[in-house]
Structure 1
Amino acid sequence: MKRGRLPLTALRSFEVAARHSSFTQAAAELFISQAAISRQVRDLEALIGCPLFERRHRAVVLTAAGQELRVTLTASFDSIGDCLDRLRSTDEQPPLIISCEPSFASCWLMPNLADFQRRYPGIDLDIDTDRRFYEFRGRDPAIAIRHSETQSRWPRVESRPLCTTRLTPVLSPALLRDGEALQRPEELLTYPLVHEERRDVWGQWFAAAGITAPAAAQRGLVYAEGGLTLQAALRGQGVVLSDDRLASDALARGELIRPFALSIPFGAYWLVARRFVTLPPSGESFLAWIEGHFR
């Protein structure tokens, strides 16, 4: 097909719908109606002469032809975007946007950012604590820091490990009865247990300690993320399972203590970007800095 006849608007709509496997999400990304997405995709299918999606109940699935076209278009649009970014005036360096897990942002990144600013005073950072998955296009962050218990890869992006996570009990020394150190792991069952996101992780720690935890171990406060559980521990609300990296400042100041050295594995933090080789110099500097802290 001659370049002058390429249906660029329809191709863009199809590519976004194909990435999301959703006409609704494509419409939201492009700020047009779902009906417009559907019409443009149908016009493109009529032009090509074959279906690009299988329409199912409340879902669309790419056909073989659709998958082939999506791969080509995504790579092409990404290449165009990268070229425009390189050609754009560099008189004023835009802020580097980092998307970060909320607990990691508040408990590790924020306390250490003074070091980054001292080393790279010319780089401005915007820290985004939204947990949504990003395609790293347009106004999306350049780099994301994500935690997962099991996942190490995400669709259409690159990832590399930052650090593993291990959980260990921490609590305020003011919570200890009579100020005496705990002697046996089962003594923790006499204290309030604070949970992050769900109530089954304490059972894993007790199992590693050789203890069958009673149902009471699944009771207590549940917070949505680790930064809040650490605040709960600091305020004496109970004992928290925390990554000692995130609790390191409070442990060093004596505001929290680790009653037992036993820890359990709990996934890892990952650095995620669309393509690491296309990051701007500011992004490369950030990666070198943060990876240097975890070597």
Structure 2
Amino acid sequence: MKRGRLPLTALRSFEAAGRLGSFTEAAAELFVSQAAISRQIRDLEALIGKPLFERHHRSVSLTADGEALLTVLTHSFDRIGESLDALCGAKRAGTLIVSAEPSFAGCWLVPHLAQFQAENPEIDLVIDADPRLVELRGHDVDVAIRHSAKVTSWPRVEARHLGDVEMIAVMAPALAPRPLREPLDLLRYGLLHEDTRGLWEQWFAAAGAGQVRVERGAIFADGALVLQAALRGHGVALMDRDHVRDDLNAGRLVQAFDFSIRYGAFWLVVRRFDALSEPARRFVAWIERCYPGRKGA
């Protein structure tokens, strides 16, 4: 098709809907109505003569032809955006925006940022603590740090393993003056939970305590809040060993039992590692050097 006939508006609507997997989210990103997105995509399908989406009752999914077109469009729009950013100076040089899981941000990243800042005083950091897998396109985020229990890659981004998650039971020293004899002893002190009580049930089962029904204990939105509660003696917490290493070494927390369970991993997620800005390249190099979980990977 000649360049002069390229339906650019329809292609942009399709790229956003395919990338986000939703006509509604595409409409929000492009500041148009959902009806406008649907119409543009229908017109594009009519022009091509093939369906690009399979329509379901409450969702849509790309066809094989849609996947092929999306890959080309996303790559092309990325390159256009990067070129325009470079020409316009869209973001002040030296600024780095990092989107991180709240637990990772609160328990490890923020306590260790002083080291990065000391090594890179000219870089201004913006930390966005967000549990969602941020859509790097359409946002200013340079680097994302995400946790996944099973997933190891995501569409249209590059991911690099940062460190495995090893969950251990920790508590304030004053909370348990007597030695603990068996895992079920922890029930006397109250259990702290992040998002769900199910992880403790997995821990008890793996520790040989059988199928323990955990129905009590405060639930917190993220691990940083769980950590604060544990430090203040409010109960026993399951925490990533790397996130409480400093507290264990300083004696602010003790590990209840020499036992752990694996719970996925943290990942560095970017558009392309070979196209990182200088601040992003330095941050990635620093965190891969300093994050303790990576040393054992």
Structure-2 change in CA distance of 1:62 and 1:204 (3 Å): closer
Q: Does 1:113 align with 2:113?
A: yes
Q: Percent identity at matched positions?
A: 56
Equivalent residue number for residue 153 of structure 1: 153
Equivalent residue number for residue 210 of structure 1: 208
Equivalent residue number for residue 35 of structure 1: 35
State the Cα distance separating 1:249 from its structure 2 match: 2.9
Equivalent residue number for residue 268 of structure 2: 271
Q: Retained in 2: the 8 A contact 1:193–1:219?
A: yes
State the Cα distance separating 1:236 from its structure 2 match: 1.5
Match for 1:258 among 252, 255, 260? Answer: 255
Q: Retained in 1: the 8 A contact 2:204–2:212?
A: no
Q: Retained in 1: the 8 A contact 2:168–2:238?
A: yes
State the Cα distance separating 1:206 from its structure 2 match: 2.2
Equivalent residue number for residue 53 of structure 2: 53
So what's the TM-score if we normalise by structure 1? 0.92
So what's the TM-score if we normalise by structure 2? 0.91
C-alpha offsets along residues 27-46 of structure 1, whole Å, 9 cap, x if unaligned?
01111111111121222223
What RMSD, in angstroms, separates the aligned Cα atoms of the two structures? 2.0
AA at the equivalent of 1:80: I
Equivalent residue number for residue 162 of structure 2: 162
SS of residue matched to 1:259: strand
Structure-2 change in CA distance of 1:49 and 1:237 (3 Å): same
Number of residue pairs the alignment of both structures matches? 292
AA at the equivalent of 2:73: L
Equivalent residue number for residue 195 of structure 1: 193
C-alpha distance in structure 1 between counterparts of 2:60 and 2:202, whole Å = 39
SS of residue matched to 1:155: coil
C-alpha distance in structure 1 between counterparts of 2:48 and 2:255, whole Å = 64
SS of residue matched to 2:257: coil
Q: Retained in 2: the 8 A contact 1:200–1:218?
A: no
Q: How does 1:242-257 map to 2 (within 5 A)?
A: 242-257=239-254
Equivalent residue number for residue 65 of structure 1: 65
State the Cα distance separating 1:213 from its structure 2 match: 4.9
Q: How does 1:114-133 map to 2 (within 5 A)?
A: 114-133=114-133
AA at the equivalent of 2:216: R
Structure-2 change in CA distance of 1:203 and 1:119 (3 Å): same
State the Cα distance separating 1:187 from its structure 2 match: 2.0
Structure-2 change in CA distance of 1:174 and 1:86 (3 Å): same
Greater CA deviation, 18-27 or 110-119? 18-27
C-alpha offsets along residues 51-76 of structure 1, whole Å, 9 cap, x if unaligned?
32233322223333323322221121
SS of residue matched to 1:266: strand
C-alpha offsets along residues 176-210 of structure 1, whole Å, 9 cap, x if unaligned?
2xx23324333223221112221122222223332
Structure 1: gaps (5+ residues): none
Q: Retained in 2: the 8 A contact 1:172–1:257?
A: yes
Structure-2 change in CA distance of 1:73 and 1:219 (3 Å): same
Q: Does 1:288 align with 2:285?
A: yes
C-alpha distance in structure 1 between counterparts of 2:40 and 2:202, whole Å = 51
Match for 1:219 among 216, 219, 223? Answer: 216
C-alpha distance in structure 2 between counterparts of 1:88 and 1:170, whole Å = 50
Equivalent residue number for residue 6 of structure 2: 6
Q: Retained in 1: the 8 A contact 2:156–2:271?
A: yes
